[in-house]
Structure formats: C-alpha cells, structure tokens
Amino acid sequence: MLEIPNPAAIAVGSCQMVPISGDVDASLAEVKRALSWAQEEALDIVCLPECYLTGYCRTPEEAGAHSIDLGSALFSRLMSELRQFDPVVILGLMERSGPGLFNSAVIVERGRVLGLYRKQHLIESAFSPGRESPVFERNGVRYGVNICSDANFPETAAALTARGAEAIFYPLNNNLPHATAQKWRSRHIEILSARARECSAWVISADVVERSATTTGYGCTAIIGPDGRTVERCPEQTPGRIRAVLTPVERL
C-alpha cells in the first residue's frame, strides 16, 4: 500500500489494456478489475485508455452505433456498478449528446460523474470537437484531461495549467497501421515529456496494446514528472499497471 507523506499529494495509477470493441459489459468487467486494483493500492485516481468503455471507432456509422448517452438508462446501469469503488476513474467512451458525437472522458467517483472532457483536436471524422478545458481537484491537487492527439498541441495542455492543474491525464489509443505505429513508436513518449516540461506538470498516460493483421498498438502508458523524466512506464506490447505518488508542483 502506498504511503502519501504530503497531505496535498495524490496516488495515481494508469492501466495499459487490450481494447474491447462493441461489448460494454466485457469492458465494464475490466474497468471494475482496474478499480479493484486501484482500491487495493489506495490510489486516488486511475486512468484508462481512450474510448475504453465503448471501444474506439473512427467512422460516423460505427461511432453512432456504439456511442452512449450519459443520460441513458444504459449509462446509469453501468455507473451503478462502480459505486463500490473509492478511487476516481478517468474513463474514455464515445459519447452521444443530442445529434452530436464526442470522443470523451468522464471523471467518475463512486459511480457519480464529476465532469467530462471532450477531445478537442480530432483525427476522427465521427466526432465533433470539444471546447472546454475543465479542471478537477483531489486531495488539494488540481488535475485535468487531454485525449490522445490533443498532446500534439501545447496550448491544450497550457489551458489546463493556466487554471492551476498540476497533473494532466492522457487517455490514448495508439493502435495504428504497422508502418505508422513504428514511425510514432518513440515519438509518443517524447511528445508527452515535452508537455510535462513546458507546463511543469505531471503527465499520466494510459494506452492500448494490440497486434492484428493490419495494426499494432505498442502502448505508451507512462507517468512523467514535471521535469519531463519518465517515472514509471509499462513495457511495450504488454498489458500492465503502473502507479506513483504525485507531489505538489512548485511553479514560479
């Protein structure tokens, strides 16, 4: 069990997972396993990969078929399964809101949605971009969320630290065509480290691992310090979990 010496520190975890497509109950079972681990480790927050709950789709047809309305009976049932867990979970999903579809991450505590972040810089034609950069707080530490390709835009991270965020969580889904995955294999961690240094903020990412006939997900699940150094990282192409205690950030 982790000890937190500073009352303003938080214990966080991140999970590198094999994606599940189109089966929310199977995904939920893995979410609950991740939260059980987080509870056993006395973590405050655990981050899961991009769109993990619903599976990740890029086309409007697929996304429309598998997206979830946060006001629906289905979502309410899913959240009821998480009431027993104390840690906050950052849970990615494809969200339906009226006629719009969004690539979102909901921030959930004991089955209650504290808020959500919608991906702003899209590579998927299915979704509309988000506009807000909300910041949340746990044990005196403020944090926010960016999603995957948002990491390529320094201003998106800076919008969070301008509001006092000391930690930025990045749900990722870097399951890419083989050549593209190889090209970006080392770039993912370099980009996340750059965001950490620029913002003087902790960066916590959660990615998927998979290999199919057409795609590879190496996995870039890491906890990076405000100086840009990697504190913890899951081995590539292997499901796993990492954790660390985030100490308060000193800024000028």
| pLDDT tens string 222-243 | 999 999 999 999 999 999 999 9
Q: Is pTM, for the whole model, over 0.85?
A: yes
What span, in angstroms and rounded, lies between the C-alpha atoms of 196 and 229? 9
Domains of the chain in start order, with CATH, are 10-246 (3.60.110.10)
pLDDT band at 252 (very low <50, low <70, confident <90, very high): low
Of all residues in the chain, the percent with pLDDT exceeding 70 is 96
What count of Cα atoms within 13 Å lies in the side-chain half-sphere of residue 18?
8
Residues 129-176: pLDDT tens digits?
999 999 999 999 999 999 999 999 999 999 999 999 999 999 999 999
Exposure of 251 by Cβ count < 10 A (0-12 exposed, 13-18 middle, 19+ buried)?
exposed
Q: Measure the CA dihedral 109/115/120/126, to 10°.
A: 80
